[in-house]
Structure 1
Amino acid sequence: MGLVEGYESSSDSDSGPVECNSIREEKKNHLHKHASYERPQRSIYKRKPHTTKSELKRRRKDRKGDGPWGRWSGSDDESSETEEMQTKLQDTIIPAIEDDEDSDVAKTEEVSNFYGSSEKDYQGRGYLHPPNDINVDLRKEKMNFRCYLPKKVIRNYAGHLDGTTALKFLPKTGHLILSGGNDHIIKLWDFYHDHECLRDFRGHTKPIKALRFTEDCQSFLSSSFDRSVKIWDTETGKVKTKLHLKSTPADVESRPTNPHEFIVGLSNSKILHYDDRIPEKQGLVQTYDHHLSSILALRYFPDGSKFISSSEDKTVRIWENQINVPVKQISDTAQHSMPFLNVHPSHSYFCAQSMDNRIYSFSLKPKYKRHPKKIFKGHSSAGYGISLSFSGDGRYICSGDSKSRLFIWDWNSSRLLNNIKLPGNKPITQVDWHPQETSKVICSGTAGKIYVCD
C-alpha cells in the first residue's frame, strides 16, 4: 500500500525512497541547467568604452537645442522620442498663437474721428498751421527767449482711462498736444482756444508705448504692446505704414534730417532701422544687435548723424547711422539702467533718467564723457520710466516723480528750485515743456489726466 492515497508502486518497498531520490536529482539538475543558462546572459552586458575628446566634440556639434541643457545625439531612444514630440507640439502651438495675434493686429481697422468745429480755416489751412489769433509768438527759435519757473496747476485735460503713457508737444510751435494711453487710443488736443480733443486715432489693440513726431510734423510714429509700429498722417488720420514685429517695440525715433527714416528699439535687445521708401523687408536697412537686454530709450543727435540708445543691460551706447558697431559704450559697475533720454536745447549735452533717483548729463561731443558735477537729484524715479524735459532757453530741467510731483532744477548749478504737488497721488511719468511758452509744462501719469502747470 502506498504512503499517499492514490499512489501505487509496482516494485518492492525499497523502490519508494529510490524514486524520491531520483526526483530530487532531477530538480537539482534542473536548477543547475537554469543557472548555467543565466550566467552567460549576464556576461553579455559589457561596460561602455570611455569616450574621447574628439567624440565629445563631434557630439557637441550634433547636439540639438540651444544652451547647455540641449539634447545630446547619444541619448536614449525614449527620451529622444519624447523630446521630438515636445518640439513638434511647440512648433505647432506657439506659431499658431503668434499667427492669431498677428492676424488680430492685421484685421484691426484704423479709424480716426475729428471732433473740432472745422478741419480747415478760411484759407484752407489745416490745424497744423499755427494759429494767429493768440498773444504768443509761436515762431521763435530756441535759446532766443527767457523762461521762468512754473508755480501751480492752471488747468487739466481728460486724458486717457487707466493712465496716460505717452505725451508730446507739437515740435517748434507747441499749439497741439499728442497723447496715448492704456485705453489703446491716441488723441490730439488743442492747447489754445477751447482746449478740446481735435482728433483721435484708433487702430492699436493694446496700450500705447511711445509716440514721436517726424521733423516736418506731417506724420507721427506710434508703437504699442501689440507689437506693431504705425505711421499716421497727422491731419487726415490715415495710416501710411504698418509694421508687425516679433517683439514689443519699446521706443521709436524719427531721424531729424530725413522723415522717411526711423529706428525702433525692441524688447529682444535689437534696434531696427527702417526706411519707408524701400519695399524690400518692410524697409529694413540695418539691425543693431550689440545690446544684451531689452532696449529702453532711443534719441537721435540733432544733425541725424548718430543716435543714442539705453538698455536694461545698464549701458548707454552711441551709434553711427546705419553702422552696426557702437562708437561709444558708456558703462560703469555702479551704473543703473536709464529708461529715458533727452537732448539739451544747446545741442551740447544729453541727459539720462537713472533708476537710482538721479539724472545724469553727458557730453554730445567725443569722448562723450559724463559730467560729474551736473547731477540732478531729490526726486524719486526708481521703478518707473519717468521722462524729463528742458525749457526753451535751456536754463531749467524738469522731471516727474513717483509721488505725484513735478521737480524743476537749475541747469547751471544743479540746484533744486521748485517742486509742484499734482492731484491724483499717482506717479507722474510724462513731462514736456512748451517749446515756445516761457513757463508752461504739461504732465501726466497713471492717473490719466493731463495737467498744465504755469
Structure 2
Amino acid sequence: MTSSLTELDDDLVRCMSIGAVFSEFGGKIHSIDFHRKDDLLVTASEDDSVRLYDIANAKLLKTTSHKKHGTDRICFTHHPSSVICSSKYNLESTGESLRYLSMYDNRCIRYFKGHTQRVVSLCMSPINDSFMSGSLDHSVRIWDLRVNACQGILRLRGRPAVAYDQQGLVFAVAMEGGAIKLFDSRSYDKGPFDTFLVGGDTAEVCDIKFSNDGKSMLLTTTNNNIYILDAYGGEKRCGFSLEASPGTPIEATFTPDGKYMVAGSGGGTMHAWSIETKNE
C-alpha cells in the first residue's frame, strides 16, 4: 500500500468498522487478493468474472468475463493490472488450469497446463516471476510467468496449501494429516528442510500465510479452525474456532504488523484476536 501504516493496539482494533462497500456484485466471491504495493483489490466470482477495485477511492475499475474457463483462485502478479486465475471448467479436456491475464486489455497472456483437477491454492513469489499452485490432483506445481512449461512438481497426499514467506526464500506446503513442510525456494528439489505437525487436528489445511516479519505462520482448516505457529520451530502459539461456513472455507489473515489476526466466519461476522494475549 502506498499510505503509511498506523500502529495498531487493542483499542484501535475494537473501533474498526466498515470503511467502504462494493455493491456491484451480490453473489458468491471465490477468492480475493490485494496488490502488494498499490491500493488495488482483485476478486474472482461465481458468475465467472474478475473484478479490479481501487480500494483507496472505493471504485470498481474493471470487470472481465471468463465463461469458457470460469474463475476460482486468483492472485496479483507484480504488475498492478495483471493477475493469475485458476479455471473451473474443462480441466481434464484442455488442461488449461491456470491463466495469466491482463486486466488492462482483457487478454490472456499465457495458459499454464498441467493440473487435471481444481486448483485450491495459489501464490506469487514476492521477489521474482515464480508462482505456485496446489491442486486436488495431489500435486504442487512451480511455474514461471515467462514460460508455459511447469518448472517443478511436488507429489503429495491430500489437499495442498502453499505459501511463500515475505522474502521469497522459503515456501511452505501443507498436506494431509496436518503436516507442514518447508522448502528452500532455490533448491526445493532436494526436499523439505523442516517439517511441522499441527498436533491434535488432522483436518486438511485450506490456507496458509506467513506474517510480514516472517516469524509466524497462519493456518486455516476445513473444519473452521485457525492456528498460529512459530515459523522457525513449528510450535503452536494459539488456536481459534469459528462458526461453520458450509461449502466455503473460512478466510483469515495477519494484520501488517503481525500482532493481530482477522477472520470471517459462517455467521457473517468478522473476528479479530490479539496473537500475544489470545483475546478476541
- Do both proteins adopt the same fold according to a TM-score greater than 0.5, normalized to the shorter chain? yes
> Is the Cα contact below 8 Å between 2:40 and 2:80 reproduced in 1?
no
Question: Runs of 4+ in structure 1 displaced over 6 angstroms?
Answer: none
1:303 and 1:204 map into 2 onto residues whose CA distance is 36
Deviation, structure 1 residue 161: 5.0
Worse overlay, 349-358 or 375-384: 375-384
Deviation, structure 1 residue 351: 0.9
Check 1:180–1:332 CA distance in 2 against 1; reply closer, same or farther (3 A cut). closer
1:268 aligned onto 2:133: no
Question: 1:247-326 counterparts in 2 under 5 A?
Answer: 247-259=117-129, 261-278=130-147, 282-289=148-155, 291-295=156-160, 297-321=161-185, 322-324=187-189, 325-326=191-192
Check 1:414–1:381 CA distance in 2 against 1; reply closer, same or farther (3 A cut). farther
- Ranked by relative contact order (alpha carbons within 8 Å, sequence separation 6 or more), the top structure is 1
Q: Deviations over 1:211-254 (max 9, x none)?
A: 11123535221112223211122433322211244222222211
Larger Rg: 1
**Number of residue pairs the alignment of both structures matches:** 265
> Is the Cα contact below 8 Å between 2:123 and 2:132 reproduced in 1?
yes
1:200 aligned onto 2:63: yes
Check 1:230–1:256 CA distance in 2 against 1; reply closer, same or farther (3 A cut). same
Q: Deviations over 1:272-296 (max 9, x none)?
A: 1112334xxx32121111x21232x
1:364 aligned onto 2:231: yes
Question: 1:43-442 counterparts in 2 under 5 A?
Answer: 138-140=2-4, 145-147=6-8, 148-149=12-13, 150-173=15-38, 175-193=39-57, 195-205=58-68, 207-226=70-89, 227=91, 228-245=97-114, 246-259=116-129, 261-278=130-147, 282-289=148-155, 291-295=156-160, 297-321=161-185, 322-324=187-189, 325-331=191-197, 334-335=200-201, 336-365=203-232, 368-371=233-236, 374-381=237-244, 384-416=248-280
Deviation, structure 1 residue 179: 0.9
Structure 2 gaps of 5+ residues are 92-96
Letter in 2 for 1:392: P
> Is the Cα contact below 8 Å between 1:352 and 1:361 reproduced in 2?
yes
2:83 and 2:61 map into 1 onto residues whose CA distance is 16
Percent identity for Structure 1 against Structure 2: 13
Check 1:413–1:333 CA distance in 2 against 1; reply closer, same or farther (3 A cut). closer
Deviation, structure 1 residue 145: 3.3
Deviation, structure 1 residue 323: 2.4
> Is the Cα contact below 8 Å between 1:145 and 1:393 reproduced in 2?
no
Deviation, structure 1 residue 395: 2.6
Deviation, structure 1 residue 171: 1.9
Question: If each structure's helix is expressed as a fraction of its own residues, which one has the higher value?
Answer: 1
Structure 1 gaps of 5+ residues are 1-129, 131-137, 417-454
Deviation, structure 1 residue 167: 1.6
2:26 and 2:167 map into 1 onto residues whose CA distance is 37
> Is the Cα contact below 8 Å between 2:245 and 2:267 reproduced in 1?
no
> Is the Cα contact below 8 Å between 2:159 and 2:205 reproduced in 1?
no
> Is the Cα contact below 8 Å between 2:158 and 2:204 reproduced in 1?
no
> Is the Cα contact below 8 Å between 1:165 and 1:209 reproduced in 2?
yes
Question: If each structure's strand is expressed as a fraction of its own residues, which one has the higher value?
Answer: 2
Check 1:166–1:332 CA distance in 2 against 1; reply closer, same or farther (3 A cut). closer
Deviation, structure 1 residue 332: 5.3
Letter in 1 for 2:68: T
